[in-house]
Structure 1
């Protein structure tokens, strides 16, 4: 009876939005991948055929997730998180290298990317930690432990190298902030990014001058001037050191293709046939769609294979070309509706564990959506971040499905948590 009441309280609005995105995703994968020699939708040698297999297995995953008792996810969150770290570490020994990245396990004819599943595991671990009544994020030691949980997957993912996936885990800081992490962590990170970009665009002495003016203005506006002179001096010294180190980090830490992408994005280089080819063709494809698009299966850029990886990271270009501005708006509205629904449900949870996990789900989906769309329209460098539920790939689809449906199970169980 308890399990039946939980199943009855599943949030069908979220499931309908999820189903719409998965179906639209498959339709666009089919359009991006179809060729004159093979138009049979059950051709499992083609990507759209394989995606059908992934979707079928996803249904099994959903049934399993909703059948398991909700308390399992909280009780075994540490075990799940630890297992995900072991899988990430195992890539350095058993992983398969594709395009210079050691991010996958090869299983028969398929590959599995553990970082996609580590997102749900990390969200569970953070929820478990932050729901402890003794944890207070005003305490510095508690802050460090929360950041460590977020940071461990990053330390294992960056050397693969997979900066796109690592960026997703960085955004768990939004969850920590929601639960009491001081806002200066966010402001410091945002300011460091701005300072980094400024140091790449203008001479260091100008960056230092701008930094000095900013510190002086803040110092003069402070009500406790006599107490802030030391702090202001330390902050200015750190800003100067950071500004002077940018060139060294950019030239010696970043790989060449990362430098090229940043230079193109910042307008320091023009390379339409090389590193900038993907973004350039993506912009052409989306722009050519106009208001209403060229029609489903009628995209000339799509059919001409001008956009590399169009069925994966660049699937949104198919939407833009064939469905136009109207179709792109529908996709955006579906994602916005999904994220707002998750936030609404998260705020109405009866336990802190469920609420924190819900915010983890929202932060992951938002970051993927924002970065992917920004990437394909040319306002963010290409870093290999898939569009949730739309991009081709079993690991991606399964990872996002697990992430979302664990939350739906927790939400449905709140009727038993009074």
Structure 2
């Protein structure tokens, strides 16, 4: 009877897509890190052996997720969130520093990155808060509470410092927008990013003149809202100050490696043997695959070890080299089907909590996927964001698995939510 209750109502499309992505991910890690074809795939001294162990441990983890009462995730969301915050705080005392970032626990050879799991607990608490009937995200106070739920872990993660993990949390603004947050927040964010990039390419005076002209044209043609000239003047003034502050931020606030990544993205003063090496080699690997690829285990860039960190952040380059354009498109289609399926299921939930959590899961996974791929083709700075279910590592695999199967459990329980 217990087994039937665990299996009842599960969306097998999501499960099968998950299995397919994990399987392809492991085979790619094997290809990337294999040292000898005669070596055992179960050799835990090798990355592919350890990843296989991590995958095997996902089965009891998934079973446990499905065994729990679905209502626990909503009722204890604040408790889970508090535990997550405590784990982040504990890093400043017990954390292990790797490459200047104190974002890992390391006990007896076992490494654990809490920020990966905090994404899930943040989504749970945010879904719990937004599901209250009286919450209106057009209300400033309630906006601040939602921002605080997201902002607290972001602040602690930035102190580690881990910009890549922190940035993923910002994607939850799209969930807030779906739940009623005014769109001008998102528009303002994109404008700020655009100004930041432009200010590093052209003289800020041209940015100010451009926005001043746009503001003037909007003012004289505006018929829908109050034509308060001070509002337009204030907006242009803010943009002017921000535009002229970019160079100071770039030169005096950003770390050297952060500036290098931006330079690589913009093609400014890039040394292909130093800061531009990783991206240059990844683009060579992807481009060399052509239409159908060189064949599994036949990637010359992969076998030659030319692409650093290829089993983690740059793992998609192996797909591009060995399976070519068609293989890359196949993987992208599988991810897209998973995103669309989660969104479809979210829209058909019976409770606001399950629906909003589903949006969070889809947003997290899509952001990881989009940023990781964009990094490899020079559309986004390299910030160390893993590809879900593909990149090597137990923390990311288990965290994504828990995140996904909590939603699978919530969806399976919807027949009991009337």
Offset at 1:35?
Answer: 1.1
* 8 Å CA contact 1:6, 1:412 repeated in 2: no
Q: Contact conserved, 2:104 with 2:114, CA < 8 A, in 1?
A: yes
Task: Write the deviation string for residues 218-255 of structure 1: whole angstroms up to 9, x where unpaired.
Answer: 21221157633121111111101111111111111110
CA–CA distance in structure 2, aligned partners of residues 209 and 332 of structure 1 = 41
Contact 2:6 2:67 in 1 (8 A): no
Using the TM superposition, give the Cα deviation of residue 306 of structure 1 relative to its aligned residue in structure 2, in angstroms.
0.3
Q: Which residue of 2 aligns with 1:363?
A: 363
1:36, distance to aligned residue in structure 2 (A): 3.0
Range with bigger deviation, 29-38 or 384-393 = 29-38
Q: Does 1:152 align with 2:165?
A: no
Residues 158 and 38 of structure 1: is their aligned pair in 2 closer, same or farther, counting only changes over 3 Å?
Answer: farther
CA contact (8 A) 2:219 2:227 kept: no
**Equivalent residue for 1:218?**
218
- Give me the CA root mean square deviation: 1.3
Count of equivalent residues: 418
Counterparts in 2 of 1:101-112, with a 5 A limit? 101-112=101-112
In the other structure, the counterpart of 2:344 is 344
User: Superposed, which structure 2 residues align to 1:53-202 within 5 Å?
Assistant: 53-202=53-202
- The CA deviation string for residues 54-77 of structure 1, in whole angstroms up to 9 with x for no partner, is 001111110100000000000000
- 1:219-238 maps to which residues of 2 (within 5 A)? 219-223=219-223, 227-238=227-238
Residues 261-272 of structure 1: pairs in structure 2 closer than 5 A: 261-272=261-272
Contact 1:292 1:326 survives alignment (8 Å): yes
Spell out, residue by residue over 1:17-66, the C-alpha distance to the aligned partner (whole angstroms, 9 max, x if none): 00000000000000000013862101110000000110011111101000
Paired residues of 1:291 and 1:324 also in contact (CA < 8 A): yes
Q: Say if 2:259 is the partner of 1:298.
A: no
Shift of 1:202: 0.5
Give the corresponding residue for 2:47: 47
SS in 2 for 1:314: coil
Q: Please state how far the C-alpha of 1:380 moved relative to its aligned partner.
A: 1.1
Superposition TM-score, scaled by structure 1 size: 0.98
Decide whether the 8 Å contact of 2:29 with 2:47 is kept in 1.
yes
| Cα distance change on mapping 1:60 and 1:226 into 2, 3 Å | closer
Listed as ranges, the matches of 1:23-38 within 5 Å are 23-36=23-36
Counterpart of 2:310?
Answer: 310
Aligned to 1:389: 389
The question of whether the paired residues in 2 share the 8 Å contact of 1:81 and 1:118 is answered with: yes
> Stretches of 4+ moved more than 3 A in 1?
1-6, 224-227
Which whole-Å CA distance do the structure 2 matches of 1:378 and 1:196 have between them? Answer: 17
- State the TM-score, normalizing by the size of structure 2: 0.98
Residue 219 to residue 297, structure 1, CA distance change in 2 (3 Å):
same
Are the equivalent residues in 2 in contact too, given 1:157–1:166 (CA < 8 A)? yes
Q: 5+ residue gaps in structure 2?
A: none
Pair 1:295–1:105, CA change in 2 (3 A): same
SS of the residue 1:69 aligns to: coil
The question of whether the paired residues in 2 share the 8 Å contact of 1:293 and 1:320 is answered with yes
* SS state at 1:227 partner: coil
The alpha-carbon distance between structure 1 residues 225 and 328, as it changes in their structure 2 partners (threshold 3 A), is closer
Q: Distance in 2 between matches of 1:6 and 1:92?
A: 39
| In structure 1, distance between residues paired with 2:107 and 2:260 | 34
Partner of 2:407: 407
Secondary structure (helix, strand or coil) at the match of 1:122 reads helix
